C-alpha cells in the first residue's frame, strides 16, 4: 500500500505566516520599546518627584527647626507624607539622628505581582539640607513611592495590548485580502492546469497585472493551446489510421478485413460463448448497374443501402456492419437468433427493396439475404459458409428473398438442447427473484505480469445444475428487457461482497448500454454509490463504447459522478464502435480496454500493432490506462508487451476463477 504523501503548506499560508510573524515581531518590538521608554520616563519622574519634595520640605522645615518646634515639623512632614506618593520621609538632626520618620509599606493595588517584578522600578532618594542662613540645622530624605508609576505603566500596558490586538486583527485581514488578490492569478492558473489534466484545453487563464505572473499565464495558455493541438492531431491520426485500415471509403462502413477480424474474435473468444446471427446481403448484377447509370450513381446506391442497413441495426447493441466487396454487405447481430433473426432479415429485405435506387433496376430478383445463427463458439469459415449457403439458397429461389441456414449443428449447444424463449424467460425470472447468480473472477495483470490491477467480474447463473455463462443468457435477458434488473442485482451483490470482505482488492463490473439508457436505473445507481462510499472506492464500472452512441447523456452523468463518488470507469470494446475518439478529451475515463479483435493474431497484423501503439500514446497523455482484452496465446502477449501495455487479460494469462486467492 502506498504511503500518503504529507500535505504541503500552501504559498498563501506561507506568505500569511511570514508576513504575520514579521508584523507581530515588529509590533512586539515596538511594544517593548514603548514599555522601556515609559519605564525610563517614570524612573526619571520618580527621581525628580523625590528631589523636588525634599527641597520643598527642607525650606518648610528651616523655620520650625530653628525654633526647636519639633511638633510643627512633624505636622509639616505628616501633611506632605499623607498627600503625596512617598515610600518614606525622614528628618535628621545635625548629628545625623532620625528625629521624624514616616514609612509606607510597598502595597500596590490593581497591579499583578509578576508585572511589578518584571518592571522593577527603582525608587530614588531625594535629599535636602535644612539651613538657616549659613547654619545647617539638619537634613531630610525623601523616597518616592513607585506604586503610582506601576499603576500608570500597567494601565498603559493594557491599552497598548488592546490596540496591539486590534491592529493585528485588522492587519491580518488586510494581509489576507492583499495576498489573496495577488495570488488569485495563480489559483486560476491552477484551475487551468487541472483542466488540462482533465483534457479540457479550452480554459484560458486571465492576464494578471503583475509582470511575472502575466508571463506564467501566457506560458500556460500557450502550453494549453499546444497540448490541445497535439491531442487533436493524435486523434486525427488514429482516426485516419482506423479509417484507412478498417473502413470502406465509399460507404463509411467497416471493410471485409475489419468485419472478419471482429467476427473471428467473437466466435473464437474463450471469454464467453458466441450467440448471434450473421447476415450476408448481396445485390446481384451490380456491374451492369454501373455501366448503365454510371459509377457515381453506383456509389450513391451503395451509400443508400449502407445507410439503410446501419439504421436497421442501430438498436442492436454490439452489432457491426461491413461492405465486403462490390455490392456485398455483411451484418453480425449479437444475441439475435431464432424468430428475431427471421424478423430482422424479413424487415431488412422489405426496407432495401423499397429504396428508390434499387427500384431503378426494374428487377425483383437482384436482392437476397442469407442468415446463419449460432449459440456456441464455432470457426469463422464454418459460420461464413453456412450464411453463404443460405444466400445461395435464397438466390436459387429467384425473386428477392431471404433464407436461414437450418442445419442441426447451428442450433445445438454441447450438453443441452435449445430452450424456447418462454422457457428462458421463466429461468431468468426465477434466477433474478432468488438472486441465483454467482461470480467468477478473471485477473487483469499489469504490464509486468507481476501485479494485478483488478479482477474482472464474470456472471453465471445455474440452470439444471450447470453454470451458464453470461454470453448465453444475457441476449435472452436483453430480449425480455431484463438487463436493468440484472445489473441492479449484480451491483447489489458486489456491494455486499466488497463490504463483507473488506480489503483493497478492486473489481470491474460491466454495465449494459440498456441499463445506462434507463433513467430510473441511472438514478438508482448514483444513489447506491453515494450510500456505499467504501464499496465505490474499490469498484470499476465497465461501459461499452457503444454507449456513447445510444446513451451518451447517461454515460456522461455516470462518468462525471465518478470523480465525486469515488468509483472508476472503464470503456470496453474500445476501437470498434466507429465513435470519434474525441470523447477521451472531456470524459474522465480511467481505463480503456482494447477490443479483442485488435489483439487476435496481432503478431501478424502491422496495422493492429500501429493502432495499439497510437492508442497507448494518446491514452498515456491523458492519464488513461490501456488494457488488452482476449490475450489467448503467447505470441499475442509477446507482441503487445513491448509496446508498453498497462495491463492485459485473457486465458493465456489466467483463466476465470471461482475464488480470489
Give the residue extent of every domain in the chain. 11-170, 198-246, 250-411, 421-649
Report yes or no on whether pTM surpasses 0.75. Answer: no
Cα gap 262→255, rounded to integer Å: 11
Burial class (CB in 10 A: 0-12, 13-18, 19+), 520: exposed
State pLDDT tens for residues 7-58.
566 666 777 777 777 777 877 787 778 777 777 877 788 778 778 888 888 8
State pLDDT tens for residues 276-305.
899 999 888 787 788 788 888 888 889 999
Cα gap 566→452, rounded to integer Å: 20
Cell of 659: 475464488
Cα gap 279→608, rounded to integer Å: 26
Asked if residue 489 lies in contact with residue 437, where contact means CB atoms within 8 angstroms, the answer is yes
Q: In this predicted structure, what is the pLDDT of residue 419?
A: 44
Neighbours of 168 (CB within 10 A): 14
CATH architecture of the domain with range 421-649: Alpha-Beta Barrel (3.20)
- Which residues lie closer than 8 Å to 479 by C-beta, 6 or more apart? 335, 340, 421, 424
Q: In this predicted structure, what is the pLDDT of residue 294?
A: 83
Asked if residue 251 lies in contact with residue 303, where contact means CB atoms within 8 angstroms, the answer is yes
Asked if residue 584 lies in contact with residue 199, where contact means CB atoms within 8 angstroms, the answer is yes
pLDDT of 412 > 60? The answer is: no
In order of 537, 557, 571, 645, the CA distances from 503 in angstroms are: 11, 28, 25, 27
Asked if residue 526 lies in contact with residue 561, where contact means CB atoms within 8 angstroms, the answer is yes
- Which residues lie closer than 8 Å to 358 by C-beta, 6 or more apart? 283, 301, 304, 305, 352, 366, 367
What is the mean predicted confidence (pLDDT) over 426-437? Answer: 84
Q: In this predicted structure, what is the pLDDT of residue 417?
A: 35
What DSSP designation does 539 have? E
Asked if residue 504 lies in contact with residue 537, where contact means CB atoms within 8 angstroms, the answer is no
DSSP 543-610: EETTHHHHSHHHHHHHHHHHHHH--EEEEEEETSS---GGGGGTS---EEEE-HHHHTTGGG-HHHHH
What percent of the chain shows pLDDT beyond 70? 85
Cα gap 66→63, rounded to integer Å: 5
Most confident region among 167-181, 216-230, 573-587, 639-653 by mean pLDDT = 639-653
Homologous superfamily of domain range 250-411: Reverse transcriptase/Diguanylate cyclase domain (3.30.70.270)
Torsion, Cα of 382, 388, 390, 393 (10° steps): -130
What is the mean predicted confidence (pLDDT) over 554-562? Answer: 88
State pLDDT tens for residues 313-371.
887 877 889 988 888 899 998 888 878 888 899 999 999 988 888 887 777 888 899 99
Asked if residue 387 lies in contact with residue 423, where contact means CB atoms within 8 angstroms, the answer is no
Q: In this predicted structure, what is the pLDDT of residue 135?
A: 78
Q: At which residue does the C-alpha cell 471485409 appear? A: 256
Helix (H) or strand (E) holding 159: helix 147-197
Q: In this predicted structure, what is the pLDDT of residue 318?
A: 78
- Compute the mean pLDDT over every residue in the chain, rounded to the nearest whole number: 80
The CATH T-level fold of domain 11-170 is Beta-Lactamase (3.30.450)
More confident residue, 495 or 381: 495
Q: In this predicted structure, what is the pLDDT of residue 649?
A: 92
Amino acid at each position: 500500500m502506498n504511503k500518503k504523501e504529507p500535505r504541503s503548506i500552501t504559498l498563501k499560508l506561507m506568505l500569511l505566516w511570514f508576513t504575520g510573524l514579521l508584523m507581530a515581531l515588529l509590533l512586539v518590538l515596538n511594544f517593548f520599546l514603548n514599555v522601556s521608554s515609559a519605564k525610563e520616563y517614570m524612573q526619571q519622574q520618580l527621581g525628580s518627584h523625590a528631589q523636588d519634595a525634599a527641597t520643598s520640605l527642607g525650606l518648610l522645615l528651616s523655620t520650625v527647626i530653628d525654633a526647636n518646634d519639633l511638633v510643627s515639623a512633624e505636622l509639616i512632614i505628616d501633611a506632605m507624607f499623607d498627600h503625596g506618593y512617598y515610600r518614606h520621609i525622614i528628618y535628621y538632626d545635625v548629628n545625623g539622628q532620625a528625629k521624624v520618620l514616616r514609612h509606607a509599606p510597598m502595597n500596590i493595588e490593581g497591579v499583578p505581582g509578576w508585572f511589578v517584578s518584571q518592571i522593577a522600578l527603582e525608587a530614588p532618594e531625594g535629599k535636602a539640607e535644612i539651613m538657616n542662613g549659613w547654619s545647617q540645622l539638619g537634613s531630610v530624605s525623601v523616597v518616592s513611592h513607585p506604586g503610582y508609576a506601576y499603576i500608570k505603566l500597567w494601565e498603559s500596558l493594557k491599552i497598548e495590548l488592546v490596540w496591539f490586538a486590534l491592529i493585528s486583527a485588522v492587519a491580518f485581514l488586510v494581509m489576507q485580502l492583499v495576498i489573496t488578490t495577488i495570488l488569485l492569478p495563480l489559483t486560476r492558473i491552477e484551475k487551468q492546469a487541472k483542466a488540462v489534466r482533465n483534457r479540457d484545453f479550452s480554459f484560458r487563464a486571465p492576464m494578471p497585472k503583475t509582470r511575472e505572473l502575466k508571463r506564467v499565464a501566457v506560458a500556460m495558455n500557450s502550453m494549453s493551446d499546444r497540448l490541445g493541438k497535439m491531442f487533436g492531431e493524435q486523434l486525427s491520426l488514429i482516426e485516419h489510421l482506423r479509417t484507412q485500415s478498417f473502413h470502406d471509403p465509399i460507404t463509411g462502413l467497416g471493410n471485409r478485413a475489419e468485419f472478419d477480424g471482429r467476427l473471428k474474435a467473437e466466435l473464437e473468444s474463450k471469454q464467453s460463448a458466441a450467440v448471434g446471427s450473421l447476415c450476408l446481403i448481396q445485390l446481384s448484377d451490380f456491374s451492369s448497374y454501373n455501366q448503365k447509370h454510371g459509377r457515381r450513381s453506383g456509389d450513391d446506391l451503395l451509400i443508400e443501402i449502407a445507410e439503410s442497413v446501419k439504421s436497421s441495426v442501430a438498436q442492436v447493441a454490439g452489432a457491426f456492419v461491413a461492405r465486403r466487396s462490390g455490392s456485398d454487405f455483411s451484418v453480425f447481430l449479437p444475441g439475435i437468433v431464432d424468430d428475431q433473426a427471421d424478423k430482422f432479415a424479413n424487415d431488412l429485405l422489405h426496407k432495401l427493396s423499397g429504396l428508390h435506387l434499387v427500384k431503378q433496376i426494374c428487377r425483383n430478383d437482384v436482392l437476397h439475404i442469407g442468415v446463419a445463427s449460432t449459440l456456441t463458439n464455432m470457426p469463422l469459415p464454418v459460420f461464413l459458409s453456412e450464411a453463404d449457403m443460405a444466400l445461395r439458397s435464397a438466390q436459387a429461389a429467384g425473386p428477392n428473398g431471404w433464407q436461414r441456414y437450418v442445419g442441426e449443428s447451428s442450433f445445438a449447444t454441447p450438453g443441452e438442447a435449445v430452450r424456447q424463449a418462454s422457457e428462458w424467460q421463466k429461468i431468468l425470472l426465477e434466477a433474478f427473484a432468488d438472486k441465483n447468480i454467482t461470480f467468477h473472477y478473471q485477473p487483469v495483470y499489469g504490464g509486468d505480469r507481476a501485479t494485478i490491477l483488478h479482477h474482472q467480474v464474470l456472471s453465471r447463473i445455474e440452470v439444471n445444475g450447470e453454470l451458464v455463462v453470461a454470453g448465453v443468457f444475457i441476449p435472452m435477458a436483453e430480449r425480455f428487457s431484463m438487463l436493468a434488473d440484472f445489473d441492479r442485482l449484480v451491483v447489489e451483490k458486489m456491494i455486499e461482497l466488497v463490504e463483507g470482505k473488506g480489503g483493497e482488492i478492486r473489481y470491474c463490473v460491466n454495465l449494459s448500454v440498456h441499463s445506462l439508457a434507463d433513467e430510473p436505473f441511472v438514478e438508482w445507481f448514483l444513489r447506491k454509490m453515494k450510500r456505499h462510499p467504501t464499496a465505490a472506492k474499490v469498484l470499476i464500472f465497465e461501459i461499452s463504447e457503444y454507449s456513447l452512441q445510444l446513451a451518451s447523456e447517461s454515460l456522461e452523468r455516470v462518468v462525471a459522478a465518478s470523480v465525486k463518488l469515488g468509483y472508476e470507469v472503464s470503456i470496453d470494446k474500445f476501437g470498434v464502435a466507429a465513435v470519434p475518439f474525441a470523447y477521451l478529451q472531456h470524459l474522465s475515463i480511467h481505463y480503456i480496454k482494447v477490443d479483442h479483435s485488435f489483439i487476435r493474431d496481432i503478431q501478424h497484423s502491422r496495422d493492429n500493432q500501429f493502432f495499439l501503439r497510437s492508442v497507448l500514446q494518446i491514452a498515456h497523455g491523458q492519464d488513461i490506462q490501456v488494457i488488452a482484452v482476449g490475450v489467448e496465446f503467447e505470441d499475442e502477449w509477446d507482441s503487445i508487451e513491448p509496446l508498453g501495455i498497462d495491463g492485459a487479460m485473457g486465458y493465456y494469462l489466467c483463466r476465470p476463477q471461482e475464488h480470489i486467492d
